[in-house]
Structure 1
Amino acid sequence: MFDFKSLVSSLLTKNSLATGIAQSATMLVRDLPQAEYFTALVEIIKAVSKINADTDIPLKERIKTLVYVDDKAHNIHHQLCQDFLAAVPGSKNYLPTILAFWHELANAYQICLRLYQAAPNNAMEADIRLITARGLHHQMRLIAWNSLRYLKPEGSVWQQGFRFYMQAEDAGVARTPLMLYPDSTVEVSCEQLLLQGCMLYLAQTDNMLHREIIAVDQMMMPLSQGIRLEKQPPAQEPVFVINLSMPEHPQPLLRGMAGKWMRYWSTSDLTSRLADLMFDLERAIPASLRALEAKLEREEWLALCEKLAIRWSDDGGKSLRKSERSLHSSNAQVTIGFERVAFTVKIQDIENNQDTPSQEWKVNDISSSGMGLTFVGKSLEQLAIGRLILVKTESHPLLLGAIRRILRQQNGTKVGIEILGQSPVGVSLSDPAGNRDQPVTAIYITQPNSRKSQRWFLMPKHLAEPGREQVLTAQGKSYLIRLKNPQQEFEDCSNSDFDTLSKVD
């Protein structure tokens, strides 16, 4: 494998000339085999960091080098992002490097802007316009990937993005589209880039699946065409606002939110476009959505558009909670994931089969349909939208639910769950014509114990075939059943109803 580290170390030293740095960057990112992308990107990030620390590099040479490295590393970085999102084996460790690429280059472009503002040069306006747009793009990518990690962006991430936007606005080019990279297929403006990040945040992605978050992010570019950031509140409602002078996230407009740093926009046109999409989706997936990388089924696109139309409305979707929750504070014992939950309820021993110690889970509030929890542990891999969760507290019976919301914060991770029912029972499933000595465990909640007055019969997805016959064994009795169509799919199991055919001896 090529020794990237030695190359960078030898050429990016105190004695290196600026032209030498540019040449080393050229060698570093030229004709790389895909197997070496990760190693190369790590060294590229280190090279950019050294450039940022070197105060002797002239601005023109600094921009030339950074733009070249960004051009060539862009596709390498994109491939690592795709591998990570697709959970390619070995890609789990890519995340810090993926984020560091955007962070280090955004810092590099911000240094360039400060140097330019200290000594403006009209001959460099085109270069400044490009690095401003790229810097803003990188900051908004950090916000998008915070959403994918169910992590609330820090104020400094927004403020850095606002600085890039203000540079574009001051130069009069915030609405001027350009190609971000030589291989880009569409032009974008700084205004669109900032709105994309703002509207993704306002979509309340903490209860969306990864593929839904990606879909919202990609939808925003075509949806945001013609939407303007204004210095005065527009007449059309709903109106959202950002304060460019403060490290704060976008929010709905409230009384008294005024000032020269405020920028306002209306989502009226955007929600009208969503309505048109929903009309088209009643028949088929429109070409504009098929062209996106997000791969959702027609029903999933329709549900997502309906969700966004509500969340980008006047009340921001705050009225969506099914029932009011009352405050409740206690420790909880928790088991996560269908297989572990099924095993736990079958042997009726949650104390010895919980995933984490009870002191790591706290109950915040509870209602007839849901519960709010806080997880203060560090192992977040177990948390996923749609995954089953079993909760035991001192004051409530054993509750089975599904994770519907995740929000990582400094004081712990907030987890919202939909309660399916209480007192779940572990049952066994076996093939009538096969070996009944090796059954599969399923979960059953009777109708009286269900929160929706319907029985829940949860099983591995590969078994949930309509018409399939199984032997169900519970409490020493066995019955031949025939499965109906799956009623609902969770992240790690399916819910099906069934007909009882006969008792089995």
Structure 2
Amino acid sequence: MNFDHVLPVSSGGPPPFADAREAKEWLKLLPLINTQQSSLELRELLAHLNQSRIDALELLKSLELLREAVHTTGEGLHIHFVGKPLPLAPNELQRWQETLTLWTLFETAYVRCWRAAEENTGVLAEHRALIAERALRYALFEARGYLQIYRPVPATVWQKMFDYYRQAEESGISRTTVRDSLIEIHGSSMPQAMLIHALLLVAGGARQLTGKQLLWLDKRLDVLAARTSLAPHSPALPGKTCLQIDLALPAPALRASRPLSGETVREIDTLALAQVLTKRIKLLREGELPQKLGLGTEFGPQSVEALLVELYRRWCEQPSERPVRPAPPLKTANAALGLANVQRLVDAGRMPPPPEDVASLSKRDLEAIQLFGHASGERHSAPKISAVTEPWQILQSTAQELLLCRPASSATRIGLQQLIGIALEEGQTLLGVVRSLEETQEKLEIGLRLLPGVPQPVMARALDLARLGQDKYNEALLLPAAPALKVPASLVVPVTWHRQGRLLDIWDGESLSRVRLVQALERGSDYERVLFAPAGS
């Protein structure tokens, strides 16, 4: 491997410290409690080290001392951009870029050590496997950084990782186990596991994972990636093929309809992966807790089981080739985000306001009703608020899903599990939930899961809140029953509204009815979909 094309030209200047002992003293003054300041100081230090003439062995010792501080700082910056709706705000994007730079500088420093280790047979050469594991780990963190903001991993990042791995293979160290105290449970890893980790993280459907789910998967892959292997030929489930890469073509792993072949092709052992996942799914169904299985405490057993089942499908069964997109011209549709806004889109200003309670009338109105039988004609309904929409292009359309895109420069922010209404040119309005995101420099793509039924606008009020004086009606949607699909009628209400047995007043524009909430079907970031029954039943 030619290390020069991934290493910056060194100025050969004096290092910020001469050895690991001085690095330890420098570390004592790092303000870890202030992540932005510590990030700045670490980036400046690493940039200086990468340009200096510091001894390679002392550099390696210093990097090992700095690792925990770099991890603490980089992970502390996640709060600024992980799980945020797109497009990122300028300050969020800046924190992301700073974090990415931190990982890249740290990776570069280890690659400097690697080059020196390959050029001599001294003490440093004995640590080649450790250095390779570290270089691949921080290249993996760079790849993860793009996934955290729903961007595809650039080919340049894959190229680096593939070059590092080929060098590790040629040196016979790709499967050498090394100590890594920052990996939970085992405290060890190997260079090969770092590449598998990156490949499985992308193949796990990062476009559809929330920020919390992606971080959970990243943690679990520290262990899962070491339970499988990468080889020219690997086993798979009966009737299935492995996830494959071509080290000569920088790209994610795919399960293609036509398997790849050639000397540079490598396959992930998906049979071993399937066995590991199946065992954990079975134990979860038997009542075992996720933390007892090394699956963390971030999610409950049912959520973890659902995640593992989906990963099993993606890693071991489903083809991963992307379908061919239809050629232009593309249809355009107006989209509205958020429950209240979607309700206004569906309503289009046609529904009259709900009737007022006697308790909400003013003294003057009550006197007018007693004298004349109706309130003063001076009372006016609040002006109707129109839906705020923006145009999206429809890339793909099926009975259950839509794939839409818009320019990346649009200011309206959108996130996973958000409710969205789509007004088609034919006059039909569809209701969907954002299930995937991907942003490039030119456009933002979203995948929608369509909710069954034609949405109808309603206004809803919780009785227990009305008794406390919060008698305002809120925008909601009714999804009528779809007998052909065996789907009962449901209500889409504001998030946190569902409580079993709760009574709601529902106004559909013509009549007022009272219903009882029965069961929550799903919960998104800004809505809940619930089953209901007549209040007296």
Alignment TM-score, normalising by the size of structure 2:
0.78
Gap change, CA 1:34 and 1:342, over 3 Å in 2:
farther
The 8 Å contact of residues 419 and 451 in structure 1, kept in 2 or not, is answered as: no
Tell me whether 1:39 sits opposite 2:37 in the alignment. yes
Tell me whether 1:132 sits opposite 2:132 in the alignment. yes
In structure 2, C-alpha distance between the alignment counterparts of 1:296 and 1:183, rounded to whole Å? 20
The 8 Å contact of residues 290 and 297 in structure 2, kept in 1 or not, is answered as: no
Q: CA deviation at 1:402?
A: 0.8
In structure 1, C-alpha distance between the alignment counterparts of 2:23 and 2:486, rounded to whole Å? 61
Q: CA deviation at 1:188?
A: 0.8
Gap change, CA 1:269 and 1:413, over 3 Å in 2:
same
Output one character per residue of 1:219-278: Cα deviation in whole Å (capped at 9) or x when no partner: 333334442221345476532222223322212266572333222232012112222222
Q: Summarize the alignment of residues 7-46 of structure 1 with structure 2, pairs less than 5 Å apart.
A: 16-17=14-15, 19=17, 25-46=23-44
Partner of 2:437: 406
Q: Which residue identity lines up with residue 273 of structure 2 in the other structure? A: L
Partner of 1:392: 423
The 8 Å contact of residues 327 and 365 in structure 1, kept in 2 or not, is answered as: no
Identify which of structures 1 and 2 has the higher relative contact order when contacts are C-alpha pairs closer than 8 Å and 6+ apart: 2
The 8 Å contact of residues 18 and 61 in structure 1, kept in 2 or not, is answered as: no
In structure 2, C-alpha distance between the alignment counterparts of 1:449 and 1:363, rounded to whole Å? 28
Larger Rg: 2
Q: Which residue identity lines up with residue 305 of structure 1 in the other structure? A: L
Output one character per residue of 1:112-143: Cα deviation in whole Å (capped at 9) or x when no partner: 434544x3333212343333211100111222
Report the 3-state secondary structure (helix = DSSP H, G, I; strand = E; otherwise coil) of the residue aligned with 1:35. Answer: coil
Partner of 1:10: none
Partner of 2:65: 68
Percent identity over the alignment is 18
Partner of 1:342: 343
- Aligned equivalent of 2:74, options 74, 77, 93: 77
Q: Which residue identity lines up with residue 492 of structure 1 in the other structure? A: D
Q: Which residue identity lines up with residue 479 of structure 1 in the other structure? A: S
Partner of 2:282: 279
In structure 1, C-alpha distance between the alignment counterparts of 2:20 and 2:270, rounded to whole Å? 44
Gap change, CA 1:327 and 1:215, over 3 Å in 2:
farther
Partner of 1:478: 512
In structure 2, C-alpha distance between the alignment counterparts of 1:351 and 1:467, rounded to whole Å? 32
The 8 Å contact of residues 67 and 131 in structure 1, kept in 2 or not, is answered as: no
Moved more, 119-128 or 274-283: 119-128
Report the 3-state secondary structure (helix = DSSP H, G, I; strand = E; otherwise coil) of the residue aligned with 1:384. Answer: coil
Report the 3-state secondary structure (helix = DSSP H, G, I; strand = E; otherwise coil) of the residue aligned with 2:228. Answer: coil
Q: CA deviation at 1:352?
A: 5.2
Tell me whether 1:501 sits opposite 2:535 in the alignment. yes
Moved more, 478-487 or 336-345: 336-345
Partner of 2:175: 175
Gap change, CA 1:211 and 1:36, over 3 Å in 2:
closer
The 8 Å contact of residues 423 and 430 in structure 2, kept in 1 or not, is answered as: yes
The 8 Å contact of residues 461 and 492 in structure 1, kept in 2 or not, is answered as: yes
Partner of 1:492: 526
Gap change, CA 1:22 and 1:351, over 3 Å in 2:
farther
Report the 3-state secondary structure (helix = DSSP H, G, I; strand = E; otherwise coil) of the residue aligned with 1:422. Answer: coil
Partner of 1:463: 497
Alignment TM-score, normalising by the size of structure 1:
0.83
Report the 3-state secondary structure (helix = DSSP H, G, I; strand = E; otherwise coil) of the residue aligned with 1:199. Answer: helix
Partner of 2:313: 310
Partner of 2:454: 422
The 8 Å contact of residues 368 and 451 in structure 1, kept in 2 or not, is answered as: no
Gap change, CA 1:122 and 1:258, over 3 Å in 2:
farther
Output one character per residue of 1:19-66: Cα deviation in whole Å (capped at 9) or x when no partner: 358677545432545432221212211221233234x44433443444
Partner of 2:102: 101
Q: CA deviation at 1:461?
A: 2.7
Moved more, 474-483 or 385-394: 474-483
In structure 2, C-alpha distance between the alignment counterparts of 1:35 and 1:258, rounded to whole Å? 51
Output one character per residue of 1:306-327: Cα deviation in whole Å (capped at 9) or x when no partner: 21222123443679x9xx9999
Stretches of structure 1 that go unaligned for 5 or more consecutive residues are 1-12
Gap change, CA 1:258 and 1:341, over 3 Å in 2:
same
The 8 Å contact of residues 15 and 49 in structure 2, kept in 1 or not, is answered as: no
Gap change, CA 1:471 and 1:168, over 3 Å in 2:
same
Q: Which residue identity lines up with residue 60 of structure 1 in the other structure? A: L
Gap change, CA 1:301 and 1:407, over 3 Å in 2:
same
In structure 1, C-alpha distance between the alignment counterparts of 2:166 and 2:160, rounded to whole Å? 10
Tell me whether 1:155 sits opposite 2:158 in the alignment. no
Tell me whether 1:49 sits opposite 2:47 in the alignment. yes
Calculate the aligned-residue CA RMSD, in Å: 3.6
Q: Summarize the alignment of residues 225-374 of structure 1 with structure 2, pairs less than 5 Å apart.
A: 225-234=226-235, 238-252=241-255, 255=258, 257-286=260-289, 291-293=294-296, 295-316=298-319, 329-346=330-347, 348=349, 353-355=387-389, 357-358=390-391, 361-374=392-405
Gap change, CA 1:123 and 1:381, over 3 Å in 2:
farther
Moved more, 303-312 or 123-132: 123-132
In structure 1, C-alpha distance between the alignment counterparts of 2:111 and 2:307, rounded to whole Å? 36
Report the 3-state secondary structure (helix = DSSP H, G, I; strand = E; otherwise coil) of the residue aligned with 2:516. Answer: strand
Output one character per residue of 1:152-196: Cα deviation in whole Å (capped at 9) or x when no partner: 111111111122222322222211222234786511111111111
Gap change, CA 1:217 and 1:482, over 3 Å in 2:
same
Q: CA deviation at 1:294?
A: 5.4
